[in-house]
């Protein structure tokens, strides 16, 4: 997106405003701008083409700007949307913002100032979108790395909410990632202990002395914790020995922002020693 022209769809019943907006945004801001005076046609264009922002007037035939916005949102399309209009009634502004408009810009008669303000808001929205894409890409890369790990692995934030659950975890627990990511209240303990209770990963975050109650033979390596637990019954009915290892997750400032735990079935190795 950063190497491509920003694509904008401008919708307004006033052809003169459309022509001026297109000329200004393409000449001075180097955006790619499509214009359309019909909100129904605009909806079809949003659905069939890729735009970065929609800039819409309010008063138009068939559908006004907020009705167009509602139709787009009803289709689960999150495209940034700016209302750019001479209508400034408070109820219209509130309706626009409540339905997902990013900004509401009221025309006041100074075309140059209005287009400057419009361009500023477009740039702000695009910068936020680029930042969001980078964050999503980073999250996806981290998720791909976790999924690549052979050991069952999951992670939580400091509130105990599951933020990652790899494929190996799905296999050993019988719980799919989509069914547990975003959940807390020790949900991640249930597949192994069949109750809600603190597990090794929780003691990495809170450092509670109660750890010896749950894991009498815990091994400490600085902030990292390891423990072996036997007699665990998996969802398959198999009784296993598990080697648990948990470690903190840090942000760029060195503060703990969560923890990660790996789970390895060592039953075969234990049986060979018997």
Please state, in angstroms and rounded to a whole number, the distance separating the CA atoms of residues 190 and 273.
29
Q: Which domains does the chain have, with CATH numbers?
A: 7-140 (3.40.50.2300), 149-273 (3.30.450.20)
Residue 74 · residue 48 · CB < 8 Å: no
Q: Mean of the pLDDT values across residues 150-161? A: 93
pTM (two decimals): 0.57
pLDDT tens for each residue of 27-77: 888 799 999 999 999 999 999 999 999 999 888 888 999 999 999 999 999
Grade residue 135 by pLDDT with cuts at 50, 70 and 90.
confident
Please state, in angstroms and rounded to a whole number, the distance separating the CA atoms of residues 78 and 73.
7
- Residues shown for the chain: 274
The answer on pLDDT for 274 being more than 80 is no
The answer on pLDDT for 137 being more than 80 is no
Grade residue 273 by pLDDT with cuts at 50, 70 and 90.
low
Q: What is the pLDDT of residue 47?
A: 93
Block residue for tokens 């019954």: 233
Token pair recorded at residue 115: 């287009």
Q: What is the pLDDT of residue 109?
A: 74
Count CB atoms within 10 A of the CB of residue 94: 11
Q: What is the pLDDT of residue 147?
A: 78
Residue 11 bridge partners (DSSP): 36, 56
Query: Of the candidates 169, 163, 213, which has an alpha carbon nearest to the alpha carbon of residue 191?
Result: 169
Beta strands (DSSP E) in 136-265 are 152-157, 162-165, 219-221, 224-233, 239-250, 256-265
Q: Mean of the pLDDT values across residues 82-89? A: 80
């Amino acid at each position: 997106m950063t190497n491509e022209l920003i694509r904008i769809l401008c919708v307004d019943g006033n052809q003169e405003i459309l022509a001026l907006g297109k000329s200004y945004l393409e000449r001075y801001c180097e955006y790619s701008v499509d214009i359309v005076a019909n909100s129904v046609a605009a909806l079809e264009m949003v659905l069939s083409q890729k735009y970065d922002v929609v800039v819409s007037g309010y008063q138009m035939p068939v559908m006004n700007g907020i009705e167009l916005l509602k139709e787009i949102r009803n289709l689960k399309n999150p495209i940034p949307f700016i209302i750019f209009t001479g209508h400034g009634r408070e109820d219209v502004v509130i309706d626009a913002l409540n339905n997902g408009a990013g900004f509401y810009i009221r025309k006041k008669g100074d075309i140059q100032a209005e287009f400057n303000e419009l361009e500023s808001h477009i740039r702000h929205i695009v910068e936020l979108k680029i930042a969001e894409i980078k964050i999503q890409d980073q999250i996806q890369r981290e998720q791909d790395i976790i999924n690549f790990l052979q050991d069952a692995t999951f992670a939580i934030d400091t509130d105990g909410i599951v933020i990652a659950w790899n494929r190996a975890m799905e296999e050993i627990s019988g719980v799919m990632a989509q069914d547990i990511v975003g959940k807390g209240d020790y949900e991640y303990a249930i597949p192994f202990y069949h109750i809600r209770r603190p597990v090794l990963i929780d003691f990495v975050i809170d450092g509670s002395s109660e750890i010896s109650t749950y894991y009498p033979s815990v091994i400490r390596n600085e902030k990292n914790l390891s423990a072996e637990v036997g007699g665990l019954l998996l969802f398959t009915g198999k009784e296993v020995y598990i080697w648990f290892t948990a470690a903190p997750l840090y942000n760029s400032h060195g503060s703990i922002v969560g923890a990660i735990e790996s789970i390895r079935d060592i039953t075969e190795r234990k049986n060979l020693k018997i």
